[in-house]
Amino acid sequence: MSMSINISELISTPFKEETFEVPIDMEAYESMGDKFPFRKKENLVLTVSNIGTRKIHLKGHWQGELGIPCDRCLEEVAVPLAVEIDEDIDLSSEDSDEDADNSYIEESNIDTDALINHEILIRFPMKTLCRKNCKGICLKCGKNLNLGECGCDRTSLDPRMAAIQDIFKNFKEV
């Protein structure tokens, strides 16, 4: 069950401001069928301000650390994430509900897990490497090449030469 902040009183009181510190209940960030576990996560600190007729301002911060597999060798990498939130939201505009960036607000509640999920999606790294010179895995046996050589023959042939590959196997070096 995710934590939500009820802002109904704040919406009805002009220029009221309130700060909340709430835990994030998610155990993992989920995206496109993949789960990335949280290794660390702090409480979300969020200040909600009424800035006019059905308009609010969100300002806050959150830090956490996700376990994301290296794109080359698949070893889990600790990726720190820092989220800074600073945005105005018009609660009266209901015409663009489907593609709204504020899908984490429903009626007078802010779903904090959905808010953090949305912010992580925006900041999710395009490429994750355990180190710059990661060697990856062997394409034949799957061994992590950072841990040592596997002994497989990894000479790659130009695919356009595959038809005559067998001819060269019959020749012996002189």
Write the pLDDT tens digit of every residue in 53-112: 788 999 999 999 999 999 999 999 999 999 999 998 888 766 545 445 677 888 788 998
Say whether both 38 and 12 belong to one domain.
yes
Say whether both 157 and 75 belong to one domain.
no
Say whether both 23 and 91 belong to one domain.
yes
Say whether both 88 and 8 belong to one domain.
yes
Q: Please, are residues 81 and 90 in contact by the beta-carbon 8 Å criterion? A: no
Residue 128 lies in a domain: no
Average pLDDT, the chain: 85
Q: State the pLDDT at residue 77.
A: 96
Residue 129 lies in a domain: no
Residue 67 lies in a domain: yes
For residue 69, how many other CB atoms are within 10 A of its CB?
14
Say whether both 146 and 61 belong to one domain.
no
Say whether both 43 and 79 belong to one domain.
yes
- Specify the residue for token string 């663009």: 96
Say whether both 107 and 56 belong to one domain.
yes
Say whether both 60 and 96 belong to one domain.
yes
- Specify the residue for token string 């993992």: 28
Strand 4-6: give its sheet, edge to edge. Answer: 4-6, 109-111, 105-106
Q: Answer left, alpha or beta for residue 32, where phi above 0 means left and psi between -120 and 50 means alpha.
A: left
The count of domains in the chain is 2
This prediction has a pTM of 0.74
Q: In terms of residue numbers, what domain contains 168?
A: 137-174
Q: Which residues pair with 40 in a beta bridge?
A: 65
